[in-house]
Copies of this chain bind each other. A is one copy, B any other.
């Protein structure tokens, strides 16, 4: 029914990164192992679930036996990763933001791609890509009852996802190869997100507000 251009393994990797980011968010709030794993699963699968439900295609997060274990694995890897990064708060912040940005970037591209396969109009493809990109983190933040950072002034989540989705849509419409388009679009999202973040980190004040 839907022959996706982007292969399964990319979904698996994206879910894994989302799981890691979700687990890190849970750790930062001092959740125990159950909370960490639950948020890993939600943060990992949230974007993929939202995407497929919105597009009304089979929910890959459930029909494939690979996605849930990948999110779980992300949750289990958070402890060794934190050990690796070390106790410095700054390095942890960088690690968290980078993982979050990678998850954001991959889901944005995967969401745009699948929306294109379904044949939605351009603006809807970019919308679904953006929702898939920010969705996992959004659901995660809502469930732990925090105001999602995505709405705070100066946070470049949505603003990082949108140009990436547009870039992917344009490149694919021009029939550039899938992998090239995906790598460039992922690069766009990560670049915008990380430069905005490091800028924020320098100015400092607003993050604590």
A residues apposed to B, CB below 8 Å: 26, 30-32, 34-35, 38-39, 41, 49, 53-56, 58-59, 61-65, 68-69, 115, 120-124, 127-128, 138, 142-148, 150-154, 158-159
A-B CB contact pairs (8 Å), 12 listed: A38-B150, A38-B151, A38-B158, A54-B62, A56-B56, A61-B124, A62-B115, A62-B127, A65-B124, A68-B127, A142-B145, A145-B145
**Which residues of B are found within 8 Å of A115, using beta-carbon distances?**
62
Give chain B residues whose Cβ lies under 8 Å from the Cβ of A53.
Answer: 53-54
Residues B151 and A39 in contact, CB atoms below 8 Å apart = yes
- Specify which chain B residues have a CB less than 8 angstroms from the CB of A145 in the assembled complex: 142, 145-148
Q: B158–A151 contact, CB under 8 A?
A: no
**Chain B: minimal CB distance from A63 (Å):** 7
Distance of A134 from chain B, by nearest CB (Å)? 9
A63 touches B138 (CB 8 A): no
Instruction: State in angstroms the CA–CA spacing of A63 and B41 once bound together.
Output: 29
Distance A138 CA – B148 CA, assembled complex (angstroms): 15
* A34 B158 Cβ-Cβ under 8 A: yes
**Residue in contact with A68 in the complex, picked from B58, B123, B150, CB distance below 8 Å:** B123
A138 to B39: give the CA distance in the assembly, Å. Answer: 13
A38 to B162, CA, bound (A): 11
Q: Are A32 and B127 in contact (CB under 8 A)?
A: no
Of chain B, the residue at the smallest CB distance from A119 is B63
Q: Given known contacts A62-B120, A120-B63, A124-B62, is B143 in contact with A30 (CB within 8 Å)?
A: no
Chain B residues whose CB sits within 8 angstroms of the CB of A127 once the complex forms:
41, 62, 68
The interface residues of chain B lying within 8 Å CB-to-CB of A143 are: 138, 142, 148, 151
